[in-house]
Structure 1
Amino acid sequence: MRTWQVERRERTRHLIELGVLVVKAGVVELAGDDRALIYGALIWMAEKLKGDQGEQARALWTAKGKNAFEDRGATP
């Protein structure tokens, strides 16, 4: 297999895994599959991480995510 094919498959797998997290968190269902709402929420999250309270948000959200993975017996 060519290098670009391997890289493309790795990227595709990565994107699918990220999409699964959005579904697993219940965002798709809660947002009624509204892509603009989901995208807006992700933009807000990115802005929060860039802001002066970014480290606090990162720590809080990381802990919450780790707890959710542990509670559900899932791996990241």
Structure 2
Amino acid sequence: MCSWQVDRRKRTRHLIELGGLVVKAGIVDVTKDDRALIYGGLLWMAAKLQSDQGEHAREVWAEKGKSAFKADRKGDLPSDR
């Protein structure tokens, strides 16, 4: 397999995993799969991370994500997703 094929497969897997997080978080369901709404939310998130509140948001969101992954491994659902 050529190196560009390996790179392309890695990128594809990465994109699929990121899309899976959008589904796992329930974003697709609560937005009724509205791509503009999802994209707008992601843009808002990126702007928030670049703002003066970015470090705080990063800490809060990272902790929330770690807790959700941990609960998922245990078979529990986070109470305040």
Q: For this structure pair, what is the TM-score category when the shorter chain's length is used for normalisation? A: over 0.9
Post-superposition Cα deviations, 1:12-41, rounded to whole Å, max 9, x if no partner, equal: 000000000000000000000000000000
Identify the residue that residue 47 of structure 1 maps to in structure 2.
47
Secondary structure at the aligned position of 2:62 is classed as: helix
Identify the residue that residue 19 of structure 1 maps to in structure 2.
19
Identify the residue that residue 62 of structure 2 maps to in structure 1.
62
Q: Distance in 1 between matches of 2:35 and 2:73?
A: 28
Matched positions, count: 74
Q: Distance in 2 between matches of 1:12 and 1:55?
A: 29
Identify the residue that residue 34 of structure 1 maps to in structure 2.
34
Equivalent AA in structure 2 for residue 40 of structure 1: G
Runs of 4+ in structure 1 displaced over 2 angstroms?
A: none
User: Gaps spanning 5+ residues in structure 1: where?
Assistant: none
Equivalent AA in structure 1 for residue 50 of structure 2: K
Identify the residue that residue 2 of structure 1 maps to in structure 2.
2
CA RMSD of aligned residues (A): 0.9
The alpha-carbon deviation at position 5 of structure 1 amounts to: 0.2
